[in-house]
Amino acid sequence: MTIAGECVTMDEMNKVNKRVVDHSFLPQYYQTHPTMSQVDLASFVDFNKRSFWVSVGTILWNPLFWNCVAQNEYHNKTITKTLRGNRYLGCYLLAITIFSLGMFRDAMYHNALKEQPASDLINPAIAKPLAASLFVPTKGTFLGDYFGILMSERVTGFPLQCCGEPDVRWSTMCFAATALWYSSPAGLLLTLLVHIVYSIALRYEGPFTTMIYSRAAKQSKAQ
């Protein structure tokens, strides 16, 4: 081979290529760990683990539960009637139930990730600091408006005015943080499921809450 007017043998070219690779700007981590083309994608997630499907079930169940129970309460007052008209006690009991279900869901998620393979493609040196930054305080809202316990007006201040639906974002961030902490592709897959399920749930909850406050405003004006 001729380069710049000089003959270069294949052995010399191979030596040059080796020097380029050895001094590459790519992180040393990715020179010593497998790349996407070197791994079996099916090994990222073990779908045979029962704990994985238990986690999927709890992720699907929680928003379905609170939407069905809360909308039934708004229309039929089932909890309030059972508690002899004490809507505040009903709201507190539902809050405790939702919070407990959330804790159980999180515990099942952690159990699932412990039984899933960790991936060398998720660099712990990068993933763990990123995960720590994603763990954020969460603000629980437990559907008091469905019990007829309304504020003077619907809450639209921080963080709603900048985040849209913060519950979806925060839940997704916390699940993603845990997945990164475990270097777990299965965790990232479950995080995607969380985002989809909660986004769908809020497509029902958001307009319904708007309707509640709109109806309350009309009744207030009529009086």
> Which DSSP string do the residues of 85-147 spell out, in sequence order?
T-HHHHHHHHHHHHHHHHHHHHHHHHHHHHTSPP-TTS-HHHHHHHHHHH---------GGGG
The span from the CA of 137 to the CA of 135, in Å, is: 7
> What are phi and psi for residue 3, nearest 5 degrees?
-125, 125
Query: Which residue stretches of the chain are H helix?
Result: 10-22, 28-32, 50-76, 78-82, 87-114, 124-134, 160-163, 166-181, 185-222
Question: Rounded to an integer, what distance in angstroms lies between the CA atom of residue 73 and that of residue 10?
Answer: 79
Owner of token pair 């499907």: 53
Instruction: Give the single-character DSSP code of 5.
Output: T
> Was 206 annotated as part of a binding site?
yes
- Annotation-wise, does 165 bind a ligand? no
Q: Which residues are annotated as a binding site?
A: 205-206
Which residues line the annotated binding site for S-adenosyl-L-methionine? 205-206
